[in-house]
Amino acid sequence: MNRLLAEQVFKPGAFPEYTYVSRKSTDLGIDYELRLRQALKVSGYLTSIIGPSKMGKTVLCEKVIALENLIEMSGVDFKDSEDFWNIIGVKVGLSVSGEFGEVNLKGNMESKKEINKSEKFVLNKDRVIEYFKDNGLVLVLDDFHYASEDVQIHIAQQLKDAIRKEFKAIVISLPHRADDAIRKNADLTGRINSINIEPWKESELEQIAIKGFRELGINIKNDISKKISIESLTSPQLMQYICLSICTLIDSDTGNIKEVPEDVLEIAYKFTTINLNYNDVVKILKEGPNPRGNKRKLYKTNIDKELDIYGLIVESIRKNPPLVGLTLDELKRRIDDLIICDIKKPDKKTIRESLNKIQNIITEKDGIYKVLEWKDNVVHILDPLFLFYLRWGTY
Ligand SMILES: Nc1ncnc2c1ncn2[C@@H]1O[C@H](COP(=O)(O)OP(=O)(O)O)[C@@H](O)[C@H]1O
Ligand SMILES: [Mg+2]
């Protein structure tokens, strides 16, 4: 008998064939798959998928579009905007230079002269569009936010023309960043199918564990799958990862285990942080801005440590229950709970000013440090993996 291995069932980094969960968008209550399928049927329209990192954007496309029709490219593939159609042509196996030879031969002697760059571009464009149509291909332009602003604008322009010719394309990007070149592009108004992927609800995350352990023939109690879903912090990737860690820890592939034991959870969470590397990020947040020789006030806390205001903020984000959005009031409450001595606790103004400084530090740093955002009196956790690491990692 072919029993499935845990690694075939729980796939934190790839398409989850056995644990795929179908979700409904909250705005319309319609399955995301259905929306995407419908979007692809509307000719002359561009599909724009926006959603936070690791929420299932790529997996959704892979679910809806047959592998042989799916042409996946990334924003990083396009450095020089001039080459957009060339690069896609090469990707689908159209031999660009070879074809030019052919074109030359068909013409008379005079037309054998060099074809200039823009002529080449147009030629490639038409051929690529034709080729996509003939073969029912869909271009999925993933991580569009990785392309430079100039390139994004150029690509938007190119896609605008192409979709009129029934070229099918999906552009995927993160919220609030690269959506401008597409969604706010005046030329594309009324020609965009927008799909917004939302963070996962706990009940949806639970389905991953329920499906997966069922596939493996292992029972999982409701309250255990619920606990894991809370700890997964809206991230299906984390859910998959924690379940896989549990399987490794209980040696599920032996087939001897019949139920997920409760006491494995904490170890599984810690185990899952091993490959996460947010050490520097935590350090920078805890240190706060350079104190320039001034000593910061230290507070005695109930976690056996003396912490300054930055340490308190980080510690309060870590606390139970894990939240991906923390208001200033909630932070103040958590900080008050942490401090055990009688001295005056930091007031909201101090907390707010410290968070402003943290935000300034983050703004100046690159990608990996952008784990949270302090805006409108709320700390928004942008990267669930970071909060998970903060809760369970060793640093
Ligand atoms: N519909 C889904 N059902 C189950 N797991 C999913 C689903 N969507 C995503 N995942 C899990 O999350 C991981 C990240 O998804 P991915 O599509 O790569 O995110 P994004 O493209 O939004 O960054 C996947 O590898 C998979 O483990
Ligand atoms: Mg992706």
pLDDT, one tens digit per residue, over 88-135 is 998 999 866 544 444 444 444 444 456 666 676 677 889 999 999 999
pLDDT (0 to 100) of residue 342: 73
Both 270 and 302 in one domain: the answer is no
pLDDT (0 to 100) of residue 107: 47
Both 208 and 71 in one domain: the answer is no
pLDDT (0 to 100) of residue 99: 45
pTM, entire model: 0.88
13 lines ligand 1 (CB under 6 A): yes
Reported as half-sphere exposure (CB side, CA atoms, 13 A), residue 180 has a value of 10
Strand pairing of 169-173 and 46-50? parallel
Q: Is residue 27 in some structural domain? A: no
The answer to whether the CB of 264 falls within 8 A of the CB of 246 is: yes
242 lines ligand 1 (CB under 6 A): no
Q: Whose CA is nearest to atom 9 of ligand 1?
A: 56
Q: Is residue 378 in some structural domain? A: yes
* Closest atom of ligand 1 relative to the 14 alpha carbon: 25
Question: CA of 11: how far to CAs of 70, 188, 242, in Å?
Answer: 20, 36, 10
Structure tokens at 167: 């070229």
pLDDT (0 to 100) of residue 210: 98
Considering its fold, how many domains does the chain have in total? 3
Last residue of a domain, one of 245, 275, 305: 275
pLDDT (0 to 100) of residue 96: 63
User: Measuring CA to CA, which residue among 368, 323, 250 is closest to residue 10?
Assistant: 250
pLDDT (0 to 100) of residue 322: 94
Residues of the chain with pLDDT under 70: 1, 81-82, 95-118, 120-121, 176-179
pLDDT (0 to 100) of residue 185: 83
174 lines ligand 1 (CB under 6 A): no
208 lines ligand 1 (CB under 6 A): yes
* CATH number where 257 lies: 1.10.8.60
Please give the residue range of the domain that contains residue 283: 279-392
Q: Whose CA is nearest to atom 20 of ligand 1?
A: 54
Distance CA 248, CA 7 (A): 9
pLDDT (0 to 100) of residue 284: 96
50 lines ligand 1 (CB under 6 A): no
Phi, psi (deg, nearest 5) at residue 236? -65, -30
